[in-house]
Amino acid sequence: MGFKLYWRWKSRAKRPGRPCIPQEHIDFIRRISMDNPGWGEDKIAQELKLKLGVNHSSSTVRRYMVRRPDPHRGQRWRTFIKNHSYELFACDFMTQYTALFTTVYVFVVMEISTRRIVHSNVTTNPTLQWVKLQIRDIAAFDRKPRFLLHDNDGVFGQYGRSKDGFRCHLDRWLSLTMDIKGLPTPYRAPNANPHVERFHRTLREDALNHFIFLSEAHVRRIVREFIEYYNRARPSQATGTIPDPYPELQQSPPTGGRLMALPCVVPGPLVNLRAHLRGH
């Protein structure tokens, strides 16, 4: 037992983990990475091994390298969306079929910062003039955004080549008439407009998939009822808040009472959620 204790004490680790390399080597790595910002850890490790006889792994070299931002690298798309979310709206179409195989197009516009749906409408014949009318309604009844994010749908009047820098007729009309800068997403990049795409999935899974629609008016009623619930009673997982809550939900929850489940999107008439909230 004494012999075991002695050797356990004799072979104890001075410091847990990988031992540090000499400070002189650390200074070499930092100097080389500062003088040559384009070199990676493998290149620096080879330089040290072949020219100075210092053998360190690439992971060790990467740990002590000095990282500097690349001045030629611009702002990422995700960073731009985050920085301008309070002045950015996003719009997109989705399709829904009726029992008679009629294609109904659902058009929604979302405020990115709060995830609030500021406008929605449906049609069976989407045209550029119809889209312009929806945007005019937003400017008339809601605050006007600085940017409008959209995809490259043919409804927006795509140009093959434009000398003035506009990719579609909608962007030209937004800039010259509405004083709004249109932001078309890159080609073949549906993830560049993820917020509206995610809302379309929520709308389809929570509402549209549970009904057999008979007409365009039926689709419009269900979409509007769900958006009323989405804006005013449904917590957003992205922001952790309700986009535009009812006044009753802005107050502190009661300490007593009876818990009830209130249907919001039903086949019959719309349930008055606010009346239920006042009564219970």
Q: What is the pLDDT of residue 269?
A: 45
Helix axes 23-35, 41-52, angle to 10 degrees: 120
Q: What is the pLDDT of residue 190?
A: 74
CA 265 to chain CA mean position, Å:
26
Q: What is the pLDDT of residue 16?
A: 62
Give the residue carrying structure tokens 């605050």. 143
Low-confidence ranges of the chain (pLDDT < 70): 13-18, 68-75, 160-162, 266-280
Residues making up the chain, counted from first to last: 280
Give the residue carrying structure tokens 């000095």. 66
Q: Check if the beta carbon of residue 78 is closer than 8 Å to that of residue 63.
A: no
Give the separation between CA 112 and CA 22, rounded to whole angstroms. Answer: 51
CA distances 213 to 87, 173, 200, 209, Å, are 35, 35, 17, 10
Show me where the domains of the chain are located. Answer: 18-73, 79-245
CA distances 160 to 93, 163, 177, 190, Å, are 22, 10, 22, 20
Q: What is the pLDDT of residue 165?
A: 82
Q: What is the pLDDT of residue 13?
A: 67
What is the CATH superfamily name and number for domain 79-245? Ribonuclease H-like superfamily/Ribonuclease H (3.30.420.10)
Q: What is the pLDDT of residue 212?
A: 92
Give the separation between CA 208 and CA 222, rounded to whole angstroms. Answer: 8
